Amino acid sequence: MRDNRGSDKDTTNKEQILAKVRNAVIEKPEAMFEDIDLQSDTWQPIKEEDGNAITFVQKFKDMGGIFIYLEDEAEFGDCLRQLAPENGWEPFWCTSPEMQRLLQQYGLAYHTEPSRAPKQKLVCITDCEYLIAQTGSILLSDGNTGSRKAYTESDVLLVMAHTNQIVGGLKEALQKVKGRFNGGAASQVVILTGPTRTYDIEQTEVTGVFGPRQMAVFLIDD
């Protein structure tokens, strides 16, 4: 025989809970932090005497990045020919259409697939969207790199940029990217700030676990 003695009580409890939920949704909560400023920039302003370029270089190097200044693209080609064998960067892995054009122009060999010999570093070379001065970050997209693997699987990431790609802050960089890719040419945008870092269980710093362990920017003057 079925016992329904608790059904009325259960129904009452459910109705009370639902009533409280409805009231919580309908009633406007009291503003706890009415004086919060959501408009002002939280970053320290860039020093006028430094400007965006010097600020980016300082921040990027502080985060462990390698910075190389070049006068033009021809010097960029000469620099790669010299540094690649010295640092074990060959062969280059490149999925960026623009960078492939430059490598071909200056007679530098590259692979389009991430192939390497055992214990050899996987070195990806690409161009970028913007350099962010306030944080020393590099803004990349799969629209210009050609593949997300370029910034997720490489051991060493070499990035070429021009001085006109340096912007003051993240907000400006994202606005510019949004304007460029309004038609949907890029499906992912990523911001890299120095080589990737994490800590193991003993709180020992480990680099390169989830991305490049070394990053270099080749900045070409316009």
Does 6 reside within a domain?
no
pLDDT digits (tens, 9 = 90+) for 128-187: 999 999 999 999 988 888 888 888 889 999 999 999 999 999 989 988 888 777 656 667
- Residue with the larger pLDDT of the pair 142 and 116: 142
Peptide bond into 91 cis (omega under 30): yes
pLDDT of residue 67: 96
Assign 100 to helix, strand or coil. helix
Dist CA 210 CA 199 (whole Å): 12
CA 143 to chain centre: 13
pLDDT digits (tens, 9 = 90+) for 117-126: 777 889 999 9
Does 49 reside within a domain?
no
Q: Whole-structure pTM over 0.95, yes or no?
A: no
Dist CA 87 CA 6 (whole Å): 77
Domain count across the chain: 1
Mean pLDDT of 67-87: 93
Does 27 reside within a domain?
no
How far CA 80 is from CA of 74, 106, 151, in Å, comes to 10, 10, 19
Dist CA 176 CA 165 (whole Å): 10
Does 41 reside within a domain?
no
Dist CA 20 CA 75 (whole Å): 70
Structural domain harbouring 188: 65-220
CATH of the domain at 176: 3.40.50.10420
Does 102 reside within a domain?
yes
Q: Is the pLDDT assigned to residue 8 strictly greater than 70?
A: no
Does 170 reside within a domain?
yes
Assign 66 to helix, strand or coil. strand
Bridge partners of 218?
68, 160
